Structure 1
């Protein structure tokens, strides 16, 4: 995958042309290249695919990070049903994050997921329910709808991952836009998976464009680090990180313009904008005060 051989590329192109999604086409090309059907079970699992691409990225960057593999227990990544004790024995229940999110989005009482999350997490969910939680896909319907209508005349190919065909399909179907989740289903075809469409629409909503991404890549992706919280007994570790890091460690947003380069500051502004879009959805849904990113404090435990 790091240095794709011609035989792999040929099969990959054939599978993509046949309408398979990229992950499925890539898996088929790998099985064909190694001529080993036994690989199918290994590389068809979402977590395994993710792990493989993590290792590819580490190799590409010549990173000194040493990866370790852990066997996933309980429910699979894509499961939408909560797990049961029979899945892993009587000791514990291990459900997928997707199934937990699905249960919350389905308005199930939090008591229904109590056995599937840590007690501290349940306490936080109960504390914030109806104040800042839950936020679902359709809570961003209006924000995305405005941007789609505002830019439909020029198309959406400037945005990350949006091909000309997908852009044309979005423009064609925008008149049927009712909700974000329904629009994703409406756009979905054998060529465009649910995951890809969701990702592309998020890029459009957040204004994430190809030109900007290319600029960030040329700058080696990461231009700053921003701690969101820390334990009081870890202050020395944070200080050590600040002394030895190769990028600015941003403690206060108010200091950002003086500390960061123009490119890093532009990246931070995109980060803040994304946070504000989310906080706007929270404020509108629960009729609470808008939480401005510049007024938020670092969490100390």
Structure 2
């Protein structure tokens, strides 16, 4: 059986994701689609709108055959580390292809750029350090270094978010010496950062979240941009918990942590650098909301995402030492969140060639990577109504992989 991987957050699953999965299967002639999906918290340092279990149901209902959790130590990282963790999982699962959306739509653009960067690596790294010293954020320094390297070259536009991720996927394939074949699909209509929903059937996840967080239920305003199953699963989740998760639910907890931890403790938290905690401590005393707090804290040097990730690690008490320990060496396990009948068959056929343990519950293995995930899941559950928290905390330990029986795929 031939497997194609997709690397996703599904926050939430929308029509653009459905198109991506449809095209990934068609263009690679895949028997199985493996979705490596972030868990409770995401790459930009924010909570997922709904739980990983609800998003797993969305993915399986719309064509995924295996849903694998991308651990917190990778899912809440800069693009390079996020990509390396996800590609490592697909490589370990003996996946043949990895398919990602991009603003370019041409895989040759990515391979050409990787060769160019490798050839000019020393100069490129030198430019990055120079621009950081001038007060630029790391992403901005990388963009400036790249521009300085190739003023006359017609190369990939790395100012686009999906191009950036795609480049790092291909870079990770090269670093792992993997035989994964990268495939890219041109993003349709909506762009990653679009804030509002338009009349088209495809909208950005950002615009959908904005709409949901603005008015919660009823959900009629998003019905034309998400599959019917996503619509019903979002409605079901809101009716059960009366919540779509966002940072405002966690801000009082973050504020407590900032005001009670010592400077030494905050410096030990992952991504705590250059006295950033002093700025956070100062502004959390005045800011009445997380959005106000972030507006006060953000600077030219520290991007919104960078600060948000640091705040998340403070919330979950994730230290530099823990991340280093959790991510060193080979991938210790693969956690299965859900599968179709096709996915189960693929695992049965392939399991002898998969050397990493596959787990279905967090009690099956003891590793720092999983310890961080357990703590992050517990933090995520604190946003639920008090009477729902005990069940939510237990859910991660008790829920087996979600399984669906599907005679044929929905496309």
Please name the residue that 1:66 is paired with: 181
Range with greater deviation from structure 2 (109-118 or 4-13): 4-13
Aligned equivalents of 2:339, 2:297: Cα separation in 1: 42
Query: Do the aligned partners of residues 182 and 2 (structure 1) sit closer, same or farther apart at CA in structure 2, a change above 3 Å counting?
Result: farther
Residue of structure 1 in register with 2:202 after alignment: 94
1:47 CA displacement: 0.8
Partner of 1:246: 355
What is aligned with 2:76?
A: none
Quick check: 1:113 aligned with 2:205? Answer: no
Q: 1:27 aligns with which of 126, 130, 143?
A: 143
SS at match of 1:68: strand
Instruction: Give me the whole-angstrom Cα distance separating, in 2, the residues matched to 1:145 and 1:52.
Output: 36
Aligned with 2:314 (options 187, 190, 204): 204
1:2–1:199: structure 2 CA closer, same or farther, 3 Å change rule? Answer: farther
Contact kept in structure 1, 2:327 and 2:369, CA below 8 Å: no
Once the two structures are superposed, the pairs formed by residues 256-275 of structure 1 within 5 Å of their partners are 256=364, 260=365, 262=366, 264=367, 266-275=368-377
- Residue 38 of structure 2 aligns with which residue? none
> Greater relative contact order: 1 or 2 (C-alpha under 8 angstroms, separation 6 or more)?
2
| 2:344 equivalent among 199, 214, 235 | 235
Secondary structure at the aligned position of 2:187 is classed as: coil
Indicate how the Cα distance of structure 1 residues 53 and 73 shifts in structure 2: closer, same or farther if over 3 A, else same: same
Q: What secondary structure, in the 3-state scheme, does the structure 2 residue paired with 1:229 have? A: strand
Per-residue CA deviations over 1:182-229 (Å, capped at 9, x if unaligned) read 322221011111111111111111122111222223223x21111112
Q: Does 1:226 align with 2:335?
A: yes
**Structure 1 residue 104 corresponds to structure 2 residue 212:** yes
Q: Is the 8 A contact 1:82 1:100 kept in 2?
A: yes
- The counterpart of 1:283, out of the listed 357, 369, 385, is 385
Please state which structure has a larger fraction of its residues in strand: 2
In the alignment, what sits opposite 2:231?
122
* Contact 1:83–1:96 (8 Å) recurs in 2: no
For structure 2, list consecutive stretches of 5 or more residues without a partner in the other structure: 1-116, 405-411
Give yes or no for contact 1:2–1:56 (8 Å, CA) kept in 2: no
Unpaired runs of at least 5, structure 1: 86-92
- Give, in angstroms, the shift of residue 125 of structure 1: 1.1
Q: Which residue, out of 168, 173, 189, partners 2:299?
A: 189
Q: Work out whether 1:299 is the aligned partner of 2:402.
A: yes
Choose from 165, 190, 195 the match for 1:50: 165
Q: Tell me by how many angstroms 1:37 deviates.
A: 7.0
Q: Please identify runs of 4+ aligned residues in structure 1 that moved more than 4 A.
A: 1-4
| Structure that is richer in helix per residue | 1
CA RMSD of aligned residues (A): 2.3
On the 8 A contact 1:242/1:249 being kept in 2, the answer is: no
